[in-house]
Chains A and B, each alone.
Chain A
């Protein structure tokens, strides 16, 4: 078996174990209803994490994710008030997300400024833009929003797949296809593995970097659309620190922050593990919400140490 699958398998094992533990502790936990809710409630984090996976696979980082989600949300709400159809504003904002991401990618490569700093400026810029669009929570009143929230596919058992979960699963499939079936996907892995070798092999670094951040921006904007439709409102502080959840989901999903190693599919399970933790703590009922932060941190720690061990033992980054 390919040793590169080890972190991914570990992630899936942890997810299944946590789910089983929940089933042992609480009645009605091991149901498709809980699973469907976890998928729907965390769909925007997972969508954002999918885009972040490409960025992290290439050895970069995107901190502008949370602000992008907030900006897309308030813009959709304000455009909704101006009489736009949500689908039209969604399309416009996704194009904006792509353009904004491309600009970040260009600055990173052309100006040789670290991705951390460029996307940090992006974080501030977009959050400031949120405050300029509106300072209040604005509701989305269009009929379509209600239809979107109501749309669902029944699952065996009592569960349902809500529309946000469906959008998430759709974008997951696209992301997996991009990562593993296209030349661009291979270039992302190549740059993350060794940038200089990739360049010498003829990968167009500038174009690929722009594409990577454009893809990240697209997915963040899509996450913002799903978030706005899911909460049927736009709020200028929405999505604060969500970039951290997205990065945590990617890391829990088995992708190395040094780049070059990991799978898009892992981010789905990483995001679901984060969702599972908060669901478990909510089921308990007596625990303080502070435990969500702490247990996420503990789990992150455990995974990182495990990755460290796996990388050291199985030479995941090596060529041998």
Chain B
């Protein structure tokens, strides 16, 4: 415990708020939105166009949905002290499978389940390597990350691979359509979030994952089957990546294994970390992870609407991410506090 913590009066409102992890990602999101509001006064305006909602806020939610879904899966895996680098490759494979089965003429509702099944298989593969063989997560999932896009390309070759584009009212409806006024993917995302929250927080699974991530040996001694829990986390992560894959593939209605969801694993990991979870495992923050994904997307959107050249996108993103992370670092906060206190005296 730091000296400053000891000296600070217990229960003082502001410092305690400052130490709450939830504050920083939410503050970052609010700051970005306020910035947008200053730049574009009608930023929060929402209109109804052609029977669906339109507006910048809707757009941020819309574009953030795939990343948020992947991030939720990543949050579970990171909760077990793991990491899954292969989510982008999983999405590439899912896209290739969708395109392949549509060319083969399967009913589209079946294809949806086939796509998700393939994603689950990817998760099982990662889970078996990590939980079964005990391989370090970063390297175990690197295997699928390196080869997954190649597998996607090979699947495209199964039907000649000349024209991987397709039309599917069902899948495109799930991705780019709208339900009443709301874009369907937001509904899908919300349903999946609630389902996941129920599974994690209303069963013991979340507790077990956090126990395993905190200390696998201790969890094992306490009677939690650590291997099985870790395995389940990777399978769920694969499944959620598969859902994102369906949305992303239907969005472009083509299979492009080389470039689809490039760097989504990095965005997802960032979202989890911005949400306050440590890569050291032991914590799952589902809501804050979604906030983290929204921060990343809001940042991209605000760079676009601020008229800054899109080249600056990555730089601004990395700088904001570093600031959020530095604020979360105890050591930095401690030194900054000391600096100000020294000046006051």
- Using CB atoms and an 8 Å cutoff, list the residues of chain A in contact with chain B: 61, 107, 110-114, 116-117, 120-125, 127-129, 131-132, 135, 244, 247-248, 251, 257-258, 288-294, 296-298, 300-301, 304-305, 308
B139, B279, B314: the one contacting A114 at CB < 8 Å is: B279
Contact across chains for A290 and B314 when beta carbons are under 8 A apart = no
Bound together, the chains give a CA A291 to CA B154 distance in angstroms of: 8
CB distance from B162 to the nearest CB of A (A): 13
B325 touches A113 (CB 8 A): yes
Assess the B138–A304 pair: CB atoms within 8 A: no
Q: Mark B135-165, 1 if CB is under 8 A from A, else 0.
A: 1101110111111111111100100000000
Contact status B136-A301, CB under 8 Å: no
What CA separation (Å) do A117 and B324 show in the bound complex? Answer: 12
Known: A113-B325, A116-B83. 17 other contacts (CB 8 A): A61-B138, A107-B322, A110-B332, A111-B329, A112-B329, A112-B330, A114-B279, A120-B266, A121-B318, A121-B321, A125-B319, A132-B312, A244-B142, A247-B142, A257-B136, A293-B149, A304-B129
- Given the known A-B contacts A128-B314, A132-B311, are A111 and B269 also in contact in the complex, defined by CB atoms under 8 Å? no
B147 touches A296 (CB 8 A): yes
Tell me if B287 is interfacial: C-beta within 8 Å of chain A.
no
Are B143's CB and A301's CB within 8 A? Answer: yes
Establish whether residues A294 and B150, one from each chain, have CB atoms under 8 Å apart when the complex forms: yes
| Nearest A-chain residue to B157, judged by Cβ | A288
Sorting the interface of chain B by its residue count into under 10, 10 to 19, 20 to 34 or 35 or more gives: 35 or more
Main SS at interface, chain B:
helix
Q: Is the CB of A298 within 8 A of B142?
A: no
Query: Could you tell me the distance between the alpha carbons of A124 and B140 in the complex, rounded to whole angstroms?
Result: 24
Residues of B within 8 A of A116 (CB): 83, 138, 269, 279
B315 touches A117 (CB 8 A): no
For B146, B314, B317, B330, the residue with the greatest tally of chain A CB atoms inside 10 Å of its CB is B146
Say whether B322 contacts A304, CB under 8 Å: no
In this assembly, does B15 line the interface, its C-beta being within 8 Å of a C-beta of chain A?
A: no
Q: How far is the CB of A45 from chain B (nearest CB, A)?
A: 13
Q: Would you call B326 an interface residue if the criterion is a C-beta within 8 Å of the partner chain's C-beta atoms?
A: yes
> Is B315 a contact of A128 with CB atoms below 8 Å?
yes
- Which residues in B have some Cβ–Cβ distance to A below 8 Å? 83, 129, 133-136, 138-140, 142-154, 157, 266, 269-270, 273, 278-280, 311-319, 321-322, 325-326, 329-332
Alpha-carbon gap, A251 to B157, bound state (A) = 30
Verify A128–B329 contact, CB threshold 8 A: no
Q: Are B315 and A290 in contact, with the CB atoms below 8 A? A: no
A111-B133 contact given A248-B142, A293-B146, CB 8 Å threshold: no
Contact B311 A121, beta carbon cutoff 8 Å: no
State A289–B269 Cα separation when bound (angstroms): 29
Knowing A125-B318, A297-B144, A308-B133, the reply to whether A257 touches B139 (Cβ < 8 A) is yes
Shortest distance between the CB of B19 and any CB in chain A (Å): 16
Residue of A nearest to B135 (CB): A304
With the chains together, A166 CA to B321 CA distance in Å?
Answer: 40
Chain B residue contacts of A297, Cβ below 8 A: 143-144, 146-148, 150
Whether the pair A127, B136 counts as a contact (CB closer than 8 A) is: no
Chain B residue with Cβ nearest A109: B331
Chain A residues near B273: list those with CB within 8 A: 117
B312 touches A128 (CB 8 A): yes
Quick check: B142 and A300 within 8 Å, CB to CB? yes
A244 in contact with B329 (CB, 8 Å): no
B211 to A: closest C-beta gap in Å: 21
**When A and B form their complex, which 3 residue pairs have the shortest distance between CB atoms, in order from nearest?**
A297-B147, A128-B314, A293-B150
Residue of B nearest to A124 (CB): B318
Give the residue name and chain of the A residue nearest to B161 (CB): A288
Report A311 CB to chain B, min CB distance, Å.
10
Chain B contacts of A301 at CB under 8 A?
A: 143
Instruction: Please report the C-alpha to C-alpha distance between residue A294 and residue B148 in the assembled complex, in whole angstroms.
Output: 7
**9 A-B pairs with C-beta separation under 8 A:** A124-B315, A128-B313, A132-B315, A294-B150, A297-B150, A298-B147, A300-B142, A300-B147, A308-B134
